[in-house]
Amino acid sequence: MDIMADHYVQKYQEDGYVVMDGLLTPEECDQLRCRMAEIVDQMDVPEHCRITFSTNHDEQLKTQGNADYFLTSGDKIRFFFEKGVFDDKGEFTVPREHSLNKVGHALHAWDPLYKKITHSPKVQGIAKNLGLQSPVILQSMYIFKQPRIGGEVAPHQDATFLHTEPLGRVMGLWIALEDTTVDNGCLWFIPGTQNSGISRRMVRTPEGTYPLTDFIGREQAYDEDKFIPTPVKKGGVVLIHGEVVHRSMPNTSDHSRHVYTFHLMETKDTHWSPENWLQPTEELPFPALYTE
Ligand SMILES: O=C(O)CCC(=O)C(=O)O
């Protein structure tokens, strides 16, 4: 199934991202949202795992327990929370369905509905149009961007966290499950930055050392004026090149901004860094996209 006309391929290659409407129907979006509501309803998160998700490294990996919960989440469905949603006894201060920042990182493997959408003919068609020969799915996330409290995601390149040699082998698909707008925290991009390499890499530190991860290099200071807001209609998808600089702002509206996102990697002639936080495991080797 083909939703990707040639001009989208060209735009993706030029800018490092492209928006395409209508990857999912409104009904498919609602089904994914309902399924997530069930997952959240059943979530049972031990107190020591009630961690805040932040793109600020020091904050995110504040304790060894937090760092471990994150670093071992690649082959599981785990829960990451917004700031200030627990009291000092670890009890929720907001309704639990409004507490989450994201769920990750293996919805694509363990939940049948997410798996079906991830491997759908439309998604496979996009990868084929971009010439991917043997793509695998690295990770998946459901991002909530809660009304009023959904925080910013700082400017970054995905290859900082998902590093390959050569670069240019990773792409994110970011699917809007409801309309994303400037007010509710849509993505912003600096077009063309996918061609300038990466400024920092997150690496695992040697076994037995703490902290468990560190950065090589620093995020650059980007010119605020160069970021372009990128609203997307419900069911639309943004393709995100692994090196393009992007961010999202806090949700200042009364509406949520739910998205389902996952990352693909072309495996042909690609070396996946063993220093990446995310590693294939015995339970979950990175699954091939062109199956199911
Ligand atoms: O959904 C967001 O707010 C940010 C997502 C993002 O930047 C990413 O997945 O790389």
Residue 104: band (very low, low, confident or very high) from pLDDT cuts 50, 70, 90: very high
Q: Which two tokens stand for residue 52?
A: 């805040």
Rounded distance between C-alpha atoms, residue 72 and residue 208, angstroms: 15
Non-local CB neighbours of 85 within 8 Å, separated by 6+ positions: 52, 92, 93, 94, 98, 99, 149
User: pLDDT tens digits, residue range 137-167?
Assistant: 999 999 999 999 898 999 999 999 999 999 9
Residue located nearest, by CA, to atom 1 of ligand 1: 143
Q: What are phi and psi of 198, to 5 degrees?
A: -120, 150
User: pLDDT tens digits, residue range 187-244?
Assistant: 999 999 999 999 999 999 988 888 888 999 988 899 999 999 999 999 999 999 999 9
The answer to whether residue 38 sits within a structural domain is no
The answer to whether residue 82 sits within a structural domain is no
Residue 61: band (very low, low, confident or very high) from pLDDT cuts 50, 70, 90: low
Q: Among the ranges 64-78, 100-114, 207-221, which has the highest mean pLDDT value?
A: 100-114
User: Domain tally for the chain?
Assistant: 1
Beta strands in the chain (DSSP E): 17-20, 77-81, 100-105, 135-143, 153-156, 164-165, 170-176, 187-190, 200-204, 213-217, 228-230, 237-241, 245-248, 259-266, 271-272
Residue 222 DSSP code:
P
Q: Domain of residue 182: give its range.
A: 6-24+111-272
pLDDT at 247 over 80: yes
The answer to whether residue 156 sits within a structural domain is yes
pLDDT at 70 over 80: yes
Counting atoms of ligand 1 from 1, which one is nearest the CA of 248?
Answer: 3
Residue 186 is predicted with a pLDDT of 98
Residue 52 is predicted with a pLDDT of 58
Q: What value does the mean pLDDT take over residues 175-196?
A: 97
Rounded distance between C-alpha atoms, residue 273 and residue 267, angstroms: 12
The answer to whether residue 69 sits within a structural domain is no
Residue located nearest, by CA, to atom 7 of ligand 1: 247
Non-local CB neighbours of 92 within 8 Å, separated by 6+ positions: 85, 86, 99
Residue 96 is predicted with a pLDDT of 87
Rounded distance between C-alpha atoms, residue 153 and residue 18, angstroms: 19
Non-local CB neighbours of 170 within 8 Å, separated by 6+ positions: 138, 158, 159, 162, 164, 242, 263, 264, 265
Residue 207 is predicted with a pLDDT of 83
Rounded distance between C-alpha atoms, residue 29 and residue 260, angstroms: 9
The answer to whether residue 135 sits within a structural domain is yes
Residue 63 is predicted with a pLDDT of 61
The answer to whether residue 200 sits within a structural domain is yes
Which CATH number characterizes residue 202's domain? 2.60.120.620
Counting atoms of ligand 1 from 1, which one is nearest the CA of 150?
Answer: 3
Rounded distance between C-alpha atoms, residue 93 and residue 99, angstroms: 8
Answer yes or no: are the C-beta atoms of 82 and 101 closer than 8 Å: yes
Counting atoms of ligand 1 from 1, which one is nearest the CA of 259?
Answer: 1
Residue 275 DSSP code:
T
Residue 108 is predicted with a pLDDT of 98
The answer to whether residue 244 sits within a structural domain is yes
Q: Residue 203's closest CA among 192, 189, 217?
A: 217
Cβ of 172 below 6 Å from ligand 1:
yes
User: pLDDT tens digits, residue range 1-60?
Assistant: 678 889 999 999 999 999 999 999 999 999 999 999 999 999 877 666 665 555 554 444
Q: What are phi and psi of 188, to 5 degrees?
A: -130, 140
The answer to whether residue 252 sits within a structural domain is yes
